[in-house]
């Protein structure tokens, strides 16, 4: 059977698959078959007799783990029993298992990023921090600072000094906030994303826990290691250092999560951490045509801190030169992209094998309008998510109260939905609830608006744990629907979202795990994915994926690189890696586009992305100006004929 596996791999890939004992570092360039290596390594381990449950695969997203394991399971169903997931979900399970040891008696609630910001905002008001001072940082910034401090194990002062110098005058206040936030979370049973990792580290530092958990997983694999942060690196180390059977896979040139605390030294220091580590370099690219790789290599070449590497084409086809298309405005751009996509589709490339990528979600809005207008099905990844929409959060808040009555944020949220209840009333009621340990039944109803009683009764009705989740959900839904209709003009589509949520909840028989998943690993919102839809995705969400055709929207200085990154060398480098990730997603066809960003707010963006102005990079592109006059000609072409692409008569 080993021969069978070997026949699907090149020499280095096989080396990575067959080195099962001891530490292994795989540096895998884009398209070098990294996923295949993990897939076959799992199969190989199982065929060697390793019990699937003793293999742990830690990935960046749930989707990535699922994909690799289901591919492996297609060859050998035993692979379906391999443990796989994100660091956060792994940590959550660990914390749940050892909760007594950690001193968490009651229910736990996972705070997503939005919740954490809300909590901080509440505390800022409560502690009267920065009153009347408009320069006091916003909740989003505060959250980023606190998170960075946790992830890097530094004090608030150190973080401010390094990355937020202008906020140094607020150091004391923010440090106070950090303390208050810790207390607040402990009282309510809240865990934010950082806590999950921090607590996992704390547990695994305990020798006995490390022994128990370490012996449970004899083989550990970590994907996208370049994007792990300090805590995740430590979790991997603590899990594996006893047996040292650990493989990490990554590519430092694709590290794009520095903003979230990714610590790329993790990958550099891995060999030091695990002496005797075998390193395998996968450079052969099976994905893209030579001309696309040339562009990728040119970008790589201009990166300041590169790990010496060149992408070598395995396919041998030159392919077509990546396009650099210029437009006068977003409408022209959207129009052209749409017609380009339809052209390719006509040539035999289905929509499902095409993608449009962008740095920030807002860039894709004009295109979404254009696609909708022309009835082209598409699916959006990244950006605003289902579980972050107000109406979904509302309904989840009711459920969260049922799961954890100490959840102040949720109480506050649902109380504020009642007409006549504002911040003060909500706070008074919450204080009562808190004193009564989560019970609201003996409130003086006369002192409050009528809606309060209806809410309490509804919660009481929905609290019956013996009933299936969906029935409890229905109780809440019939209470919430009038609120929904009153609050949102577009309630019919939101009502539909809630039906979807109800459907998803039905797959769970435990409320706690449903809610934890909603925060950590949002369950797929559609039962059946759109089979033949075009993909629209942020570059971040496109990591690890590939398409026949890729369009990168908005190659504009100020968009990519984002203008937020202009004054930081480090952040600019990350933006450049982002470009590298984007262009290396394409197999056969790549187009980059530029549009003039209208002078809203006096700020106009009119320069091509600085990364594309680098000489070698510029030369690897075919530049075409489609602005104004050309765009009008296109309007004619789109009504039937193919126009622009006469020289690209390629069959896919």
Contacting DNA (CB under 7 A), which of 228, 404, 538, 588?
Answer: 538
Q: Does the protein bind DNA through residue 336 (CB under 7 A)?
A: no
Q: Does the protein bind DNA through residue 113 (CB under 7 A)?
A: yes
Q: Does the protein bind DNA through residue 599 (CB under 7 A)?
A: no
Report d(CA 384, CA 382) in Å as an integer.
Answer: 7
Q: Does the protein bind DNA through residue 86 (CB under 7 A)?
A: yes
Cβ-based nearer residue to DNA, 176 or 487: 487
Scanning 207-215, 245-253, 305-313, 537-545 for contacts with DNA by CB under 7 A, the matching segment is 537-545
Any idea which residue has 């022209």 for tokens?
Answer: 332
Q: Does the protein bind DNA through residue 73 (CB under 7 A)?
A: no
Report d(CA 132, CA 121) in Å as an integer.
Answer: 15
Cβ-based nearer residue to DNA, 377 or 422: 422
Tell me the closest approach of the beta carbon of residue 331 to DNA, in angstroms.
Answer: 13
Per-residue burial over 472-502, b if 16 or more Cβ lie within 10 Å, else e, is bbebbbebbeebbeeeeeebeebbebbeebb
Report d(CA 508, CA 517) in Å as an integer.
Answer: 10
Where does residue 561 rank: exposed (0-12), middle (13-18), buried (19+ CB within 10 A)?
A: buried
Q: Does the protein bind DNA through residue 627 (CB under 7 A)?
A: no
Q: Does the protein bind DNA through residue 576 (CB under 7 A)?
A: no
Report d(CA 572, CA 305) in Å as an integer.
Answer: 12
Scanning 17-25, 168-176, 183-191, 538-546 for contacts with DNA by CB under 7 A, the matching segment is 538-546
Backbone angles phi, psi at 408, to 5 degrees: -60, -40
Alpha-carbon dihedral 323, 326, 327, 333, rounded to 10 degrees: 20
Contacting DNA (CB under 7 A), which of 35, 89, 226, 588?
Answer: 89
Cβ-based nearer residue to DNA, 349 or 380: 380
Q: Residues touching DNA: how many (CB under 7 A)?
A: 46
Task: Record the tokens describing residue 29, joined without a space.
Answer: 């360039």
Tell me the closest approach of the beta carbon of residue 560 to DNA, in angstroms.
Answer: 9
DSSP characters for 560-603? TTBGGGTT-HHHHHHHHHHHHHHHTTEEEEEEEEEEPBP-GGG-
Q: Does the protein bind DNA through residue 166 (CB under 7 A)?
A: no
Any idea which residue has 């006096």 for tokens?
Answer: 602
Contacting DNA (CB under 7 A), which of 255, 549, 562, 584?
Answer: 562
Q: Which residues pair with 188 in a beta bridge?
A: none
Scanning 57-65, 73-81, 268-276, 550-558 for contacts with DNA by CB under 7 A, the matching segment is 57-65
Tell me the closest approach of the beta carbon of residue 441 to DNA, in angstroms.
Answer: 21
Per-residue burial over 372-401, b if 16 or more Cβ lie within 10 Å, else e, is eeeebebebbbbeebbeeebbbbbbbbbbb
Q: Does the protein bind DNA through residue 422 (CB under 7 A)?
A: yes
Cβ-based nearer residue to DNA, 257 or 473: 257
Tell me the closest approach of the beta carbon of residue 72 to DNA, in angstroms.
Answer: 21
Tell me the closest approach of the beta carbon of residue 485 to DNA, in angstroms.
Answer: 14
Residue 114: how many CB atoms within 10 A of its CB?
17
Tell me the closest approach of the beta carbon of residue 319 to DNA, in angstroms.
Answer: 28
Tell me the closest approach of the beta carbon of residue 386 to DNA, in angstroms.
Answer: 11
Cβ-based nearer residue to DNA, 3 or 165: 165
Report d(CA 554, CA 638) in Å as an integer.
Answer: 22
Contacting DNA (CB under 7 A), which of 138, 172, 186, 629?
Answer: 138
Tell me the closest approach of the beta carbon of residue 261 to DNA, in angstroms.
Answer: 8
Q: Is the dihedral of CA 63, 69, 71, 74 positive or negative?
A: negative
Q: Does the protein bind DNA through residue 132 (CB under 7 A)?
A: yes
Contacting DNA (CB under 7 A), which of 272, 601, 646, 651?
Answer: 601
DSSP characters for 94-145? HHHHTHHHHT--S--EEE-HHHHHHHHHHHHHHTTTTTT-TTSPPHHHHHHH
Tell me the closest approach of the beta carbon of residue 363 to DNA, in angstroms.
Answer: 8
Any idea which residue has 């094998």 for tokens?
Answer: 353
Backbone angles phi, psi at 8, to 5 degrees: -95, 0
Tell me the closest approach of the beta carbon of residue 382 to DNA, in angstroms.
Answer: 3
Contacting DNA (CB under 7 A), which of 164, 181, 190, 193?
Answer: 193
Report d(CA 579, CA 301) in Å as an integer.
Answer: 13
How far apart, in Å, are the Cα atoms of 520 and each of 89, 121, 497, 512?
Answer: 6, 22, 19, 12
Cβ-based nearer residue to DNA, 20 or 121: 121
Contact 579, 264 (CB under 8 A): no
Q: Does the protein bind DNA through residue 184 (CB under 7 A)?
A: no
Spatial strand order in the sheet of 219-222: 83-86, 55-59, 219-222, 246-250, 24-28, 278-282
Contacting DNA (CB under 7 A), which of 10, 18, 19, 61?
Answer: 61
Report d(CA 103, CA 186) in Å as an integer.
Answer: 10
The separation between the first and the last C-alpha atoms of the chain, rounded to the nearest angstrom, is 34
How far apart, in Å, are the Cα atoms of 624 and each of 34, 252, 323, 598?
Answer: 35, 32, 7, 20
Q: Which of residues 375-414 bind DNA (CB under 7 A)?
A: 381-383, 385
Q: Does the protein bind DNA through residue 112 (CB under 7 A)?
A: yes
Report d(CA 189, CA 279) in Å as an integer.
Answer: 43
Q: Site map for DNA, 477-506, x if CB under 7 A?
A: ------------------------------
Q: Does the protein bind DNA through residue 521 (CB under 7 A)?
A: yes
Tell me the closest approach of the beta carbon of residue 559 to DNA, in angstroms.
Answer: 9
Cβ-based nearer residue to DNA, 343 or 547: 547
Scanning 303-311, 468-476, 524-532, 534-542 for contacts with DNA by CB under 7 A, the matching segment is 534-542
Closest CA to 582 of 553, 623, 602: 553
Tell me the closest approach of the beta carbon of residue 566 to DNA, in angstroms.
Answer: 10
Q: Site map for DNA, 295-334, x if CB under 7 A?
A: ----------------------------------------
Scanning 97-105, 274-282, 295-303, 360-368 for contacts with DNA by CB under 7 A, the matching segment is 360-368
- Binding residues for DNA (CB under 7 A): 60-62, 86-89, 112-113, 121, 132, 134, 138, 193, 256-257, 259-260, 359-362, 381-383, 385, 416, 419-426, 520-521, 538, 540-541, 562, 564-565, 600-601, 603
């Amino acid at each position: 059977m080993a021969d069978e596996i070997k026949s699907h791999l090149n020499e280095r890939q096989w080396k990575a698959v067959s080195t099962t004992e001891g530490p292994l570092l795989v540096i895998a360039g884009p398209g070098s078959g990294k996923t295949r290596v993990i897939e076959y390594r799992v199969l190989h381990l199982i065929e060697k007799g390793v019990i699937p449950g003793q293999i742990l695969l830690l990935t960046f997203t749930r989707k990535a783990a699922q994909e690799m394991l289901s591919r492996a399971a297609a060859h050998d169903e035993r692979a379906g029993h391999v443990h796989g997931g994100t660091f956060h979900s792994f940590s959550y399970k660990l914390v749940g298992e050892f909760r007594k040891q950690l001193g968490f008696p009651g229910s736990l609630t996972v705070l997503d990023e939005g919740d954490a910001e809300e909590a901080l905002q509440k505390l800022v008001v409560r502690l009267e921090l920065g009153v009347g001072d408009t320069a006091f940082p916003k909740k989003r910034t505060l959250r980023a600072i606190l998170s960075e401090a946790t992830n890097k194990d530094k004090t608030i002062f150190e973080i401010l000094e390094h990355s937020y110098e202008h906020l140094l005058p607020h150091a004391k206040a923010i440090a106070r906030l950090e303390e208050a936030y810790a207390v607040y979370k402990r009282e309510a049973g809240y865990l934010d994303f950082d806590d999950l990792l921090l607590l996992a580290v704390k547990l695994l530092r305990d020798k006995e826990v490390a022994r128990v958990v370490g012996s449970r997983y004899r083989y550990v694999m970590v994907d996208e290691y370049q994007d792990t942060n300090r805590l995740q690196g430590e979790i991997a180390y603590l899990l594996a250092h006893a047996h040292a059977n650990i493989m990490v896979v990554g590519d430092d040139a694709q590290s794009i999560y520095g903003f979230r605390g990714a610590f790329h030294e993790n990958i550099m220091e891995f060999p030091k951490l695990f002496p005797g580590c075998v390193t395998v370099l996968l450079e052969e690219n099976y994905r893209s045509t030579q001309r696309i790789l040339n562009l990728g290599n040119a970008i790589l070449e201009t990166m300041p801190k590169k790990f010496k590497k060149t992408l070598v084409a395995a396919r041998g086809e030159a392919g077509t030169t990546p396009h650099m298309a210029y437009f006068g405005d977003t409408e022209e751009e959207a129009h052209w992209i749409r017609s380009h996509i339809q052209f390719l589709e006509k040539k035999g490339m289905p929509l499902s094998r095409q993608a449009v990528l962008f740095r920030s979600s807002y860039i894709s809005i004009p295109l979404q309008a254009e696609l909708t207008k022309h009835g082209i099905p598409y699916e959006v990844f990244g950006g605003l998510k289902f579980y972050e929409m107000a109406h979904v959060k509302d309904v989840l808040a009711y459920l969260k109260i049922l799961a954890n009555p100490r959840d102040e944020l949720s109480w506050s949220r649902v109380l504020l939905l009642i007409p006549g209840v504002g911040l003060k009333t909500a706070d008074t009621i919450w204080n009562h609830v808190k004193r009564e340990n989560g019970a609201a039944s003996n409130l003086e109803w006369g002192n409050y608006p009528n809606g309060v009683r209806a809410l309490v009764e509804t919660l009481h009705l929905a609290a019956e744990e013996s009933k299936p989740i969906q029935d409890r959900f229905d109780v809440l839904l019939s209470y919430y629907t009038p609120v929904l209709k009153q609050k949102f003009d577009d309630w019919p589509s939101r009502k539909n979202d809630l039906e979807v949520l109800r459907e998803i909840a039905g797959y769970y028989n435990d409320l706690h795990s449903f809610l934890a998943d909603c925060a950590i690993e949002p369950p797929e919102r559609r039962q059946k994915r759109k089979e033949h839809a075009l993909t629209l995705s942020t570059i971040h969400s496109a990591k690890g994926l590939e398409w026949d055709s890729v369009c990168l929207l908005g190659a504009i200085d100020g968009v990519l690189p984002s203008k937020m990154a202009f004054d930081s060398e480090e952040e600019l480098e990350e933006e450049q890696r982002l470009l590298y990730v984007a262009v290396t997603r394409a197999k056969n066809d790549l187009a980059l586009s530029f549009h003039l960003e209208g002078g809203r707010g006096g700020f106009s963006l009119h320069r091509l992305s600085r990364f594309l102005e680098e000489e070698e990079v510029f030369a690897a592109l075919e530049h075409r100006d489609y602005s104004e006059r050309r765009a009008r000609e296109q309007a004619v072409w789109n009504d039937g004929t193919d126009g622009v692409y006469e020289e690209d008569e390629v069959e896919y």
